[in-house]
Structure 1
Amino acid sequence: MKKNRLGRSDLYVSEIGLGCMSLSRDEQESIRMIHAALDRGVNFLDTADLYRQGRNEEWVGKALKGKRHDVILATKVGNRWEPGKDGWSWDPSKAYIKEAVKGSLRRLQTDYIDLYQLHGGTLDDPIDETIDAFEELKQEGVIRCYGISSIRPNVIREYVKRSNIVSVMMQYSVLDRRPEETVLSLLQEHGISMIARGPLAQGLLSERTLTGPAPAAGYLDYSPVEIVELVRRLAALAGEDRSLSQIALRYPLAHPAVAAVIPGASSTEQLLTNTGAARVPDLTQDEVKLIRSFSRANVYTLHR
């Protein structure tokens, strides 16, 4: 599988990664799926301390026993859960980040994290303090690199300007082309990579939209009827050598700022389809233009 450099770091990630949030609810099945992904050339796994209150990290850690050095491991921080309290609270403080990383290391059964990401962020955060936390963890050898996971252009601009992030994780797909407005060009200009999450738009950009029940709701500024029509047009580009969902996975990768897509998978069948996208040809420039002609150039309305 092709590997791309993550920003200006020394990390090289498989262009198809694995978003671990949507793994099976069964521990052993999740571990088997992670092993299946690694067997198919995936070397980039993304999780977070938020997912299932840390259990997802625990399962990833178990799956990587004896395999840790073959994997670029990413996790996230910033959402704080305290026993006895409902829900999570947002805490991007230096003290919390430096404490929370210890829990992630323990659950992941490792002594370092390749990519540590802030799991959100606002302009009201103590941004310089947050950056200091990541820089100190890097100096201590606890993390190799850091980035942010955010869909807020105003926050992304601040971290691009003030920090040494190597990546930004954000939602990007044929149905959500908002990053094309300004973010992708900004990242490309500064040598920062995008990690594209949600490339299948919650499964809407897959065969199930044509073979199953019609979508029950819209997606961003698309109505259910418009989603079905768009997916039909995407399907017309498919053939014996590539599926509809594989075309959708390759769309974000057509932009040079995108280092990897991280589709989730809740079944081995989905995993095989996703990883198979690494073996199909890149979209041609004509195909990219065609997809853009029948999809929508969405724009951000908030956090500009």
Structure 2
Amino acid sequence: MNYRQLGNTDIQISEIGLGTMSLPLDQKKATAIVDAALEKGVNYFDTADLYKYGEIEELLSKIIKGRRDDFILASKGGNHWEKGKDDWFWDPSKAYIKEACKASLQRLGTDYLDVYQLHGGTIDDPIDETIEAFQELQQEGLIREWGISSIRPNVIKRYADAGISSVMMQYSLLDRRPEEAMLDFLHSLGISVIVRGPVAKGMLSAKAEEKVPENGYLGHTRAKVMRAAEKVQQTRGREAAAQTAIQYVLKHPAVTSVVAGASTPQQVFENIGASELEPLTDEEHARLQGSIQAEIYQQHRN
């Protein structure tokens, strides 16, 4: 496993992280998945209060008990909800962000989070108030670093000079919008990008034929998506397609870690296989870029 520096901090995180949204609620099965990740050198584990309405955080508390130091633990907040209720609403207020963080800490059974992220955000939020909440949580020692989870350029730029260490965003060969608007900008500031969705819901895997919808993806037709998927399969072999797709996003120096979900230990090993693959050459990377036109952000720019 390779490790990369989180922003301008002294925290080193695995370039492949484990996303916990799809963990089974069976503790034995979930523990096997987490242990498989740890065995392969994963130390970055991403969760959120909204995942199964807090049950994932409660599950993780049992798994990490007695070995907290083995985990760089990240969670997210901002979606206001109450256990037992299905409805939630967006609430980036200072009071709620601090309340949500403390509730996550309680569910996780830990005194601190290594990274705490705003789970969304719009330009119309009370951003100064939200920033204060994260800064106070950091001053109180409840979080080590903080960031946001957003794909909106105007929101990201608003937070970029507020002390964030990371931005989580969707990025793949099929969704290259971050290349146009954000990656170079964040890299210039020493802010890490944590990637989600690098395999584009399986469309860039060996199972592309069955995963690509008839109406395509984003602004791409099905035929265009399939051409890109075939190019990915040809680069390092069909069976290594998903790992190649992950290596595509790891190529940019702004990217620190790729968070991949897993519901079985085998899926963990498949994801981590990307770290064991040789990095893409410049020529391979360029050929993949040339396989599909890059989308651009139509909204949230100013």
Alignment of 1:227 onto 2:225: yes
**What's the secondary structure of 1:170's corresponding residue?**
strand
- Which of 282, 286, 289 is the matching residue for 2:283? 286
> In structure 1, what is the Cα distance between the partners aligned to 2:266 and 2:86?
35
- In structure 2, the gaps of 5 or more residues are none
**What's the secondary structure of 2:4's corresponding residue?**
strand
- In structure 1, the gaps of 5 or more residues are none
Contact 1:35 1:63 in 2 (8 A): no
> In structure 2, what is the Cα distance between the partners aligned to 1:281 and 1:60?
32
Which 10-residue stretch deviates more, 227-236 or 280-289? Answer: 227-236
Alignment of 1:254 onto 2:251: yes
> In structure 2, what is the Cα distance between the partners aligned to 1:239 and 1:204?
15
**What's the secondary structure of 2:16's corresponding residue?**
coil
> In structure 2, what is the Cα distance between the partners aligned to 1:69 and 1:62?
14
Contact 2:247 2:280 in 1 (8 A): yes
Contact 2:116 2:143 in 1 (8 A): yes
The amino acid that maps onto 1:271 is V
Alignment of 1:270 onto 2:276: no
> In structure 1, what is the Cα distance between the partners aligned to 2:8 and 2:212?
43
Residues 27 and 291 of structure 1: CA distance in aligned 2, closer, same or farther (over 3 Å): same
The amino acid that maps onto 2:232 is L
The amino acid that maps onto 1:254 is K
> In structure 1, what is the Cα distance between the partners aligned to 2:126 and 2:183?
25
2:146 maps to: 146
1:125 maps to: 125
**CA distances 1:176-224 after superposition (whole Å, capped 9, x unpaired):** 10000020111011110100111111111111124x4653542111222
Task: Tell me the TM-score normalised to structure 2 length.
Answer: 0.95
The amino acid that maps onto 2:189 is H
The amino acid that maps onto 1:111 is D
> In structure 2, what is the Cα distance between the partners aligned to 1:94 and 1:239?
49
2:181 maps to: 182
**CA distances 1:133-159 after superposition (whole Å, capped 9, x unpaired):** 111111111000000000110000000
Contact 1:209 1:215 in 2 (8 A): no
**CA distances 1:120-142 after superposition (whole Å, capped 9, x unpaired):** 11111111111111111111110
Identity %: 52
The amino acid that maps onto 2:149 is S
**What's the secondary structure of 2:280's corresponding residue?**
coil
> In structure 1, what is the Cα distance between the partners aligned to 2:36 and 2:116?
24
Contact 2:119 2:148 in 1 (8 A): yes
2:46 maps to: 46
Residues 213 and 198 of structure 1: CA distance in aligned 2, closer, same or farther (over 3 Å): closer
Contact 2:81 2:88 in 1 (8 A): yes
> In structure 1, what is the Cα distance between the partners aligned to 2:288 and 2:70?
35
> In structure 2, what is the Cα distance between the partners aligned to 1:223 and 1:87?
34
Task: Tell me the TM-score normalised to structure 1 length.
Answer: 0.95
1:173 maps to: 172
Contact 2:227 2:291 in 1 (8 A): no
**What's the secondary structure of 2:252's corresponding residue?**
coil
Residues 59 and 246 of structure 1: CA distance in aligned 2, closer, same or farther (over 3 Å): same
> In structure 2, what is the Cα distance between the partners aligned to 1:260 and 1:84?
33
Deviation at 1:82, TM superposition (A): 2.9
Deviation at 1:58, TM superposition (A): 1.3
Contact 2:201 2:211 in 1 (8 A): no
Contact 2:17 2:257 in 1 (8 A): yes
> In structure 1, what is the Cα distance between the partners aligned to 2:137 and 2:69?
19
Contact 2:25 2:59 in 1 (8 A): no
1:206 maps to: 205
How many residues matched? 301
Deviation at 1:100, TM superposition (A): 1.2
Match runs of 1:47-196 below 5 Å? 47-82=47-82, 86-161=86-161, 163-196=162-195
> In structure 2, what is the Cα distance between the partners aligned to 1:124 and 1:214?
34
The amino acid that maps onto 2:235 is L
